[in-house]
Structure formats: C-alpha cells, structure tokens
Chains A and B, each alone.
Chain A
C-alpha cells in the first residue's frame, strides 16, 4: 500500500518541526527517514501514524490514495514500533503480540484458537517461540524490539512505521537486527518507513533514503545516489566522514592554498568563497609529487588499528589539518613516520559555496 503526505507543516509553539513537507512512498518500499535530531523525521513518522496531527490547512495524509488525515491512530492500521519498544510491561510476550487481536470489536475478533495460531506463527517469525511466557523485563533489548515488531505485525497493518528501531541497542545487535529487518521486509513486502540518525543504517537497509534537515526534505534517492551525488554540503557532510578546504572557484578552477584543482563539473561557475569537500578515502598518497595538483602535507599522527590506516595530515602551505584513510597495502608502499612529508592527490571532490551559517559538525557516530 502506498503512503503519501502532502504539504505537512507542524509547529510546537514557536518551533517549526516540519515545514511544508511532501513525500510519496511506493507500495512495498522500505524507506529511511534520515537526519540529525531535530530535523523533524520522527514528527513526520508520528503524523503518518496518527499519533500527531499536522497543523490544519492543506496538509493531507493518504494511504493508498485514501485520505486518512483526520483518522485517529486506532483506525489507521499503521503498525508502529517505538524507539524504546513500549511493550506492555504487565503482559507476557505472547499477550503483548495478541493485544491488537484481543481489542478488536467482538464482530471481527478472531477466535481464541486463531489468535493462538497467529501469535505462534509470529513468534516463530521473530525466532522467540521459546520465550512466549516471559515478561518484557526478562528480555534483551534486541529481543524486545523483535517482540514489538511482531506485535505491530499481528494486526496485519497496511504500513509499518519504525521510530529509531535500533537506536537503543549496542552496535553489534543493531547490525544483526537491521539485516534481519531487511530480510523480513524482503519476505513480507509491507510498505515500511523507518526513522534513523545513523547514515550507515539508512544506506544499508533502505530502498530509498529521505535525507531531512531543519524540518524539510533535502534529498530523496537510492542509497548509492545520495551517497555519490549529494545534493548539497549538508548531505555530503551528514552521510560520512569528510574533509574540507576553503578557497576560490574560478570557472572550474579551484584555488586552495598554493594548489589549483580542475573540477570538471564546475566549469563555468565562479564563486569567490567556495569549499572543497572530499572523503578521507577518496585520495591518493605518494612520497613524491605526482603532478600540479598534488598537495604537500606533513604527517601528524598515524593510527594503524583496524582495517584501514588513518593518517592525520597538516598541509604544508596553509597549515590546515585533514584526515586520510588508506588500506594497509597502500600504506606499506609509503611507510613514512610522523613528521615526514607526503603528497596527496584528491581523487573525487565536490565543491559547494561555503556555508557560513552552519559550521561543520561531526555527525558520524
């Protein structure tokens, strides 16, 4: 079932959480709403669920073309998974999952037998059938979130909404569970929207990523597209580690310190105050200058732990610091010490006008 929201604005007092947001989710899609805290992503999800209502006006929420804008949450049939699970603490795992079936009006309520059948089936799906009689407090975080998902799925929702579903879990469980979610979605194909501030999670799990910032949608696209072709500096910055050099763009020629870079895609544009963005791994490091565009830098710190070698560098001309990542083989070909001089060639860069309003923040976790 498709989900569409149109012209959603939501204010809390003087704070604008959402500013005229529209979004269309195709039937069977798995969508990630990605953004920093305060970007409005959870508010948008709660408005779709009917747990929050948009400011009156032209706002519309459509489920499969049908207007549900004024329908309360209990009549929308939107399954919702909460960040902190919100399991009913006084009910067992079994009764938690059965809840949505038991509260149905007598006419549509399944028999005790079919409730039992359905819950057992879901317990198998989440691989927790031996724990049916435990209470939520006796489960681990990952188990609780799976119970919460089963509980939401029990009522056969038209759409599954997940609010930071793995946010409260430790890194390893989070990784397992998001693969499990992806697999689950591939099996049952329910239209799903999940909110996250973890770019890795969004890029790994979602069919399409909706990047949000300051109450608006900044970019929508498949994971590889938003990663490779970020719409602006914010998206580039938010989706991964980034270095930046400030300089001047003159008809595709970017002047940074003593170096001039040719940026083909910016031919014809001239900006007096521009910033070059590049990822730490999109570089080539050599012991001798390769050409005109090589940047001389001094090694300030070397971190050899982990699969990649991280090197802190200081530019010889401007003194600004940046970080590069090399794999171990590349590093073995260089093998220099702290204080030595190397030459860096930027392989892939993006140039955006310098944004003085929002200073660079480290969004990575």
Chain B
C-alpha cells in the first residue's frame, strides 16, 4: 500500500524523473492505441448486441423471451452448467490436492492431461464423444441395445461441457496450493486432526477465493460453450439446443430475438467480470493483511 503513496510524493516534491518513464507523446500514443483497440474489439460489439436487441423497441425485446423453445434452451444451459460445474469442482479440487500435496509417478502426465481440453479444439472434443458414443461409435451398438441415448441428447451435452470446462478449477488451484505448501496441513495432522478435518478446517479456508474464482470462470465457459456442444447436440429445437446454439439458429430467422437472447450471455459475461473483480479484490485484501507485519 505504501509504494504508490511514496511514488506520488516524490513526483510532487521534486518532479523527479524516473528512469523508466517515456516522453508525453509516447505515453499518449500508447494509451490511445490501447483505447482504440478496446473500443473496436470490445465496446462497439458489446453496444451493438444491445442496440440490435432493442432495435424494434423494448416490447419486441421482451417478446423474444416469450417462446417455449428459448425457454427450453435456457433450461438446458442451466442443467448442463449445473452438472458440469459441481463435477469439475470435485475433480478439480481432487486433482489439485493430489498434484500439490503428494509426489507420485505420472504426476507430470496428469498435469499435462488437465490442460488437454485447453489445447484441443472444442470441435475435436465433441467429436471424441461422437466417435465413442455415437451410433457408429465404439460403444454405439451396446448403447442402442440398452436404449441409452448420449449423443444428440442431454447426457452428451453435459459430457462435452464437462470436458471443455475441466481445467478451470484445477488450473486455478494448483499454483495456489503449491505456493501454500503442506506445512499447515502437516501442523493439523500433528495436532491430531484426521485427513477429512484437515481438508475442511485448513485446506478449504485457505483456497476459498481461488476456488470461487475457478468456479466463476468454469461456469461462464460452461454456459457459453459452442463448439463441442454443437457437435454432440444434433440441434433439436426445444430439446438439445443450449443458449449459444439457439442464438445461432435464431440469427437466420429473427435477428432481434437472436440478439435479445444474446444479451443474456452478455449479461452473464458482465456479471462474471464483476464477480471475478470482486473475488480478486477480496483475495488481494486478505493476502495484504497476511503480508503486513
């Protein structure tokens, strides 16, 4: 906290030039370029979504939601995220715990595998499940025999969403837990706590902000995922369309409705950003009190 104050103070006192500073015109140019870039690629599109959505007035906007198919898309998105996020929460914590607290053979392989959903194209991620569970797939005949539908049905969408969003929680927690080390857990064990007590009373409180951050990002991606879900969905209206898929269909039929539904995802993004900033701010505030001597 004291660093910014002292900088301001020295600048005010002597107008002292810092060695890293640039001439004013360079600074203005750099800031201008950054702002222009932001405007063209972020703010204008954001405004355009709302402008298009309200192009025919507020009434048309709200009418767009009065559609059972749209309603079904929202419901499916909530279901997919509602299953994928808790699953990845459990997997992510377990993986991060294993990686940061224990040494075992195959550890670096596990770390690489966690990143796989990030490194592979979402389309491929979807195709994996089609090749595995589709009618012509590896397990297809067995599934058909037992009347289990995965591809072009809700389970496939949940699977694809879970796959794509798998790394968020684990990726967030691994560096955090590695930095915190094992000594607090060891202290808890030496005081007689069981492994379960140690986890709930020591580990979870220490990682809660990182955990929340991971959940927020995981949820945003789960609700917004297009590619992988598109491959496994089959685009059956009112049944296997999530919000992003539904928007794509609407766009060729009713532009206002498409953008109206798109505002939902945009709002989700804005809420996510706000939450993310708040979590970062809280975590920073806590680590600051932790560092203050």
Contact = CB atoms under 8 A, between A and B. Distances in A.
Interface string B265-293: 00000000000000000000000011111
Interface in B176-194: 183-184, 186-194
Interface in B192-208: 192-194, 197, 201-202, 205-206
Interface in B246-282: none
B186 A82 contact: yes
B186 A73 contact: yes
A103 B49 CA distance: 54
Interface string A74-111: 11111110101011111000000001100110000000
Contacts of A49: 190
A89 B206 contact: yes
Contacts of B190: 49-51, 73-74, 76, 78-80, 152
A230 B189 CA distance: 38
Nearest to B201: A103
Interface in A126-162: 135-138, 140, 148, 151-152, 154-155
B186 A99 contact: no
B285 to A, nearest CB: 12
Contacts of B289: 135, 137-138
A152 B290 contact: no
Given A82-B183, A86-B186, A137 B191 contact: no
A99 B183 contact: no
Interface in A44-75: 49-51, 72-75
Contact of A74 (B194, B201, B293): B194
Contact of B290 (A72, A77, A89, A104): A89
Given A89-B290, A137-B291, A155 B187 contact: no
Contacts of A82: 183, 186-187
Contacts of B183: 82, 84, 86
A151 B291 CA distance: 22
Contacts of A88: 184, 187-188, 201-202, 205
Nearest to A163: B183
A337 B140 CA distance: 97
Contacts of B201: 88, 99, 103
Contacts of B186: 51, 73, 80, 82, 86
A51 B193 CA distance: 13
Given A99-B193, A151-B191, A86 B290 contact: no
B192 A80 contact: no
Contacts of B206: 89-90
A129 to B, nearest CB: 21
B1 to A, nearest CB: 14
Q: Which of B191, B192, B205 has the most CB of A within 10 A?
A: B191
A78 B192 CA distance: 9
Contact of B187 (A50, A75, A86, A135): A86
Contacts of A140: 293
A80 B190 CA distance: 6
Contacts of B184: 86-89
Contacts of A138: 289, 292
Given A49-B190, A151-B187, 7 more contacts: A76-B190, A80-B190, A88-B184, A99-B188, A99-B201, A103-B188, A137-B293
